[in-house]
């Protein structure tokens, strides 16, 4: 572990939280443009959670992801952390991209393709994080599980709404 001040550690944690929660807030804003009309009219599978479930789950996941990224930043030297944190940023962009495609553009099929790429991005990031800090890798597991569930849900929505 490199030597940093408590202020640097705290500032990095705040920055990581702000980044992840900021991406979540942008995604939520995009989601809100469609959730009460277009999304409400879609045929849903029996396992589709109520809308009220999504915000607390995603907020928790974004906090866990932020802590994982912070642990990698804090644990590794600059040469070692660059790759895993770049992967993290890429998967975070894919995460936001899925919201843009699904809710913003209302393209369910294209969202399926996007979320498959996101699945891979999360797996690769989780493994890269684990190679630096075991706990950081473990903190990504619930996110991977939720994105995998979201993938199944996205596919079901696509099958139930082929013209949407």
- Interval 50-101: pLDDT, tens: 999 999 999 999 999 999 999 999 998 888 999 999 999 999 999 999 999 9
Cβ contacts of residue 87 below 8 Å, gap of 6+? 121, 124, 125, 128
Q: What is the pLDDT of residue 4?
A: 73
Other beta carbons within 10 angstroms of residue 55's beta carbon come to 12
Q: Tokens at residue 38, please?
A: 């277009």
Q: How many residues does the chain have?
A: 164
Q: Which helix (H) or strand (E) holds 34?
A: none
Asked whether residue 112 is assigned to any structural domain, the reply reads yes
Separation CA 141–CA 123 (nearest Å): 9
Asked whether residue 90 is assigned to any structural domain, the reply reads yes
Q: What is the pLDDT of residue 31?
A: 95
Query: Any idea what the Cα angle at residue 125 is, between residues 61 and 27, rounded to 5°?
Result: 40
Asked whether residue 1 is assigned to any structural domain, the reply reads no
Looking up tokens 């099929």 gives: 109
Separation CA 48–CA 132 (nearest Å): 35
- Interval 8-36: pLDDT, tens: 899 999 999 999 999 999 999 999 999 99
Asked whether residue 94 is assigned to any structural domain, the reply reads yes
Asked whether residue 77 is assigned to any structural domain, the reply reads yes
Q: What is the pLDDT of residue 71?
A: 97
Kindly report the CATH number assigned to the domain that includes residue 90.
Answer: 1.20.1260.100
Separation CA 55–CA 33 (nearest Å): 15
- Interval 87-141: pLDDT, tens: 999 999 999 999 999 999 999 999 999 999 999 999 999 999 999 999 999 999 9
The answer on pLDDT for 1 being more than 60 is: no
Q: Are 99 and 114 in contact (CB under 8 A)?
A: no
Asked whether residue 85 is assigned to any structural domain, the reply reads yes
Total of domains in the chain? 1
Residue 89 lies in domain:
6-160
Cβ contacts of residue 111 below 8 Å, gap of 6+? 98, 101, 102, 154, 158
pTM of the model: 0.93
């Amino acid at each position: 572990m490199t030597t940093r001040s408590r202020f640097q550690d705290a500032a990095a944690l705040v920055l990581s939280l702000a980044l992840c929660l900021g991406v979540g807030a942008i995604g939520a804003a995009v989601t809100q443009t469609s959730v009460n009309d277009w999304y409400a009219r879609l045929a849903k599978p029996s396992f589709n959670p109520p809308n009220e479930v999504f915000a607390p789950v995603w907020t928790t996941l974004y906090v866990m992801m932020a802590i994982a990224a912070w642990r990698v930043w804090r644990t590794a030297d600059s040469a070692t952390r660059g790759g895993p944190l770049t992967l993290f940023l890429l998967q975070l962009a894919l995460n936001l991209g899925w919201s843009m495609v699904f809710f913003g553009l209302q393209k369910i099929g294209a969202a399926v393709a996007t979320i498959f790429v996101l699945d891979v991005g999360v797996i690769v990031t989780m493994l890269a994080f684990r190679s630096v800090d075991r706990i950081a890798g473990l903190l990504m597991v619930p996110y991977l599980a939720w994105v995998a569930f979201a993938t199944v849900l996205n596919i079901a929505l696509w099958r139930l709404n082929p013209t949407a």
